[in-house]
Amino acid sequence: NAGVTQTPKFRILKIGQSMTLQCAQDMNHNYMYWYRQDPGMGLKLIYYSVGAGITDKGEVPNGYNVSRSTTEDFPLRLELAAPSQTSVYFCASTPQGADTQYFGPGTRLTVL
C-alpha cells in the first residue's frame, strides 16, 4: 500500500496565482484532513472531510477550498496565493472510529 500520497513535494508560486495540492489515500479511510505547519507553530487544521461529498472548516480555513468527490482523493485549492500561505502542508487520513491519523510526506509551498 502507498498510504497517503501528496503532490507536488515542492512548489513556488507568485502572489495571486492559484494551485491545487493533491492528496490521495489507498486505505479506504473515511476521514481526511489538511494541516499547515508553520515554523515553531505546530500544525493547524485547515479543512477536514468525513466522507465523499462532506467537508467542513478547521481552525484556519481562510484562503483555501476543498472538495471530496471520492473516498480516495481530497485536494486543497489555493485561489489567490498570498505570502502568508507559505508553509508546509500535510494531508492525513484515518478510519472512522479510529484515533490514529496517517500522514503524507507533505508539500512545501513558497509564495513570493
Partner 1 sequence: GDSVTQMEGPVTLSEEAFLTINCTYTATGYPSLFWYVQYPGEGLQLLLKATKADDKGSNKGFEATYRKETTSFHLEKGSVQVSDSAVYFCALVNTGFQKLVFGTGTRLLVSP
User: Contact positions toward partner 1, by CB under 8 A?
Assistant: 4, 31, 33, 40-45, 48, 50, 56, 58, 90, 92, 94, 98-101, 103-106
Residue nearer to partner 1 on the CB measure, 33 or 64:
33
- Smallest distance from partner 1 to CB 74, Å: 14
Residue nearer to partner 1 on the CB measure, 17 or 94:
94
For residue 21, give the nearest of 56, 46, 51 by alpha carbon: 46
- Smallest distance from partner 1 to CB 14, Å: 26
- Smallest distance from partner 1 to CB 39, Å: 10
Residue nearer to partner 1 on the CB measure, 17 or 103:
103
